Amino acid sequence: VKTNNGFKVVGPSSQKVAFAQPDEKVVYFDLEVGDINGIGKVTVTATSGKEKASYDVEIDVMNPNPVTVNYKELVLEPGKSATIGWEAFGVSGTNKAVLEVSSFPSIDFNRRLDYLIQYPHGCLEQVTSGAFPQLYLADIADIDQSRKNKIQKNVTAAIQKLSQYQVANGGFSYWPGNMTPDDWGSSYVGHFFIEAERKGYALPMNAKKQWLAYQSKTAKQWRYNEGYHNDFAQAYRLYTLALAGSPDISSMNRLRETGGISNESKLRLAAAYALAGQKNVGLKLLNQSSIEPDDSRYQYYYYGSSERNRAMALETLLLLGQKEKAFAMANKLAKQMSSDQWMSTQTTAYCLYAISKFAQGNGPKGIDIQYTVKGKSATITTAKTFADRVLSADGKTVSIRNNKKSTLYVKVVYSGVLPIGQEQVEQRGLGTDIVFKDRKGQVINPSVLSQGTEFIAEVTISNLKNESVDNVALMQIIPSGWEIVNTRFTDFGDFADNKVDYTDIRDDRTNFYFPLKANESKTFRILLNASYPGEYYLPGVQCEAMYDNSFLARTQGQWIKVVR
């Protein structure tokens, strides 16, 4: 047996097997996994007399811990020089460092965009959010052709994936396979499709036509329901129809004359009127509104936040030609985006989208710097607003000189994956408990299990607050030596009838998505099999509310063994 740097053979790397007649036998080699992330390769060679055969096996070597990101930043005045230092951390092969330079206050574009791209869950909103801001990166940033090609690949893949969420009536469901369209999500996907088509991307056949028919029919059938705060969703729907060149003026007028609609609805409706060529009506609505979001009721129902609603307000200000107000709003958003403040996928994507729209036609442009890493110097000269360059992760320092006559905003974003056992344990708003049982329901210790043992993991998630929470995501990653028994395709289909909105079963993990009422607990059961002898790491439970960072739980993992 031979390996690359992904594995190391522990003990003898060759063994002899004798056969008195045609037969098959099993021999075992102990392999130790290297401290890397990547593809491990094992070559098995069998020799008998003059005959020889070999087989290559490629195995993913993955650290289950999430990427940890940090940054250092400074403001560089005209003609000045400065140095930024950082300490690389994490497992070898996961370390990255990127130099970001902007002529506009930093919006942390790469860190925020990477968060969207690496987000592990795949609902309608998150797939859309991962691709949406990438449409505009080349417009505002100095990026090379390879990154442009990667963006094109990402956006095309997202468009194709989203087509799987479209249901018979033309709307889009929150999870694939669901038959009910998601109100806000259907408008959000359509918004993305329109912008992508304008950038030259091909949409699935009839997808846009069916979506337009659904939006138009739903807009006409809409009735105000104060209990569901559905005026904001209607305003966004009407905005997307206007953006698509099919404004529904009568429905827009009906919403405008409806009493009690929210501030956010008025601002979104103002944008719809501007797109429909009635800017004067849009300005009247703007004057009746506050550009500062003031009603949290309208955030949670539609995956939003105050920052997301500010980003939508920024877009409205741009459409109505309110440059001074737009500049002030863009600066406020940039400050929030460059901070450590948590943002959901929806908030992150819409902020990046709105700031990109702003940067295309407003604000200072142009970058001219010289930077030095490990004794090697390079320059960045561009007319774009933003530029970045990948640095050597172990460079530790970078010196930058600003050759422009305007202020530049400089940041080094560095990241890595923490070693096994060093994951960050957190708990707020959610309680977790995991118990392992045999098929008879008796509690067992998973530390050492015999090969072939079939057992059950019971994970209980508790809402510790006196308020309900939607869109909770539970991710349980399993050790490489265990296998998930997908009970949907076995005789045990009913035993794990977990009450969830959606279940995503993969080779190495099971994801559950569900709501929790105030102080409610839910238990989820996963059927497992101890399949491969060896010592492996069982990651802790990871659970979060995808749109509310006050609900989060991560627990410590443990080492387990599967024995023959």
Q: Which stretches of the chain drop beneath a pLDDT of 70?
A: 293-300, 363-364, 488-496
CA nearest neighbour of 114 among 417, 543, 502, 471: 417
Across the beta sheet with 38-48, what order do the strands follow? 2-3, 38-48, 51-61
Find out whether 363 and 104 touch, Cβ atoms under 8 Å. Answer: yes
Task: Give the chain's domains with CATH numbers.
Answer: 2-61 (no CATH), 63-103+364-419 (2.60.120.1540), 104-361 (1.50.10.20), 426-563 (2.60.40.690)
- The per-residue DSSP string of 424-477 comes to PPEEEBEEEEEEEEETTS-B--TTEEETT-EEEEEEEEEE-SSS-EEEEEEEEE
Q: What is the DSSP letter of 553?
A: E
CA–CA dist 272, 281 (Å, integer): 10
Provide the pLDDT for residue 300.
Answer: 61
**Crossing angle, helix 109-118 and helix 124-131, to 10 degrees?**
140
Torsion of CA 287, 288, 292, 298, to 10 degrees: -140
* Residue from 200, 85, 397, 404 nearest 387 by CA: 404
Quote the distance between the C-alpha of residue 462 and its chain's center.
24
DSSP 503-528: EEE-SSEEEEEEEE-TT-EEEEEEEE
Is residue 363 within 8 A of residue 385, CB to CB? The reply is yes
pLDDT score, position 156: 97
Please tell me the predicted confidence (pLDDT) of residue 299. Answer: 58
* Residue 217: per-residue pLDDT: 98
Measure CA 368 to chain center.
32
Q: What is the predicted pLDDT for the residue at 490?
A: 52
Structure pTM?
0.88
Q: Which residues pair with 381 in a beta bridge?
A: 368
Q: What is the DSSP letter of 534?
A: E
What are the distances in angstroms from CA 153 to CA 129, 131, 160? 15, 10, 11
Provide the pLDDT for residue 468. 93
pLDDT value, residue 292: 77
Give the β-pairing of 534-538 and 558-563. antiparallel
Closest CA to 320 of 268, 382, 379: 268
Query: What is the model's pLDDT at position 295?
Result: 54
Contact 98, 78 (CB under 8 A): no
Cα separation, 452 vs 96, whole angstroms: 40
The alpha carbon of residue 467 and the mean position of all alpha carbons in its chain are separated, in whole angstroms, by 26
Using the 8-state DSSP alphabet, how is residue 173 labeled? B
The first and second tokens of residue 29, run together, are: 């080699």
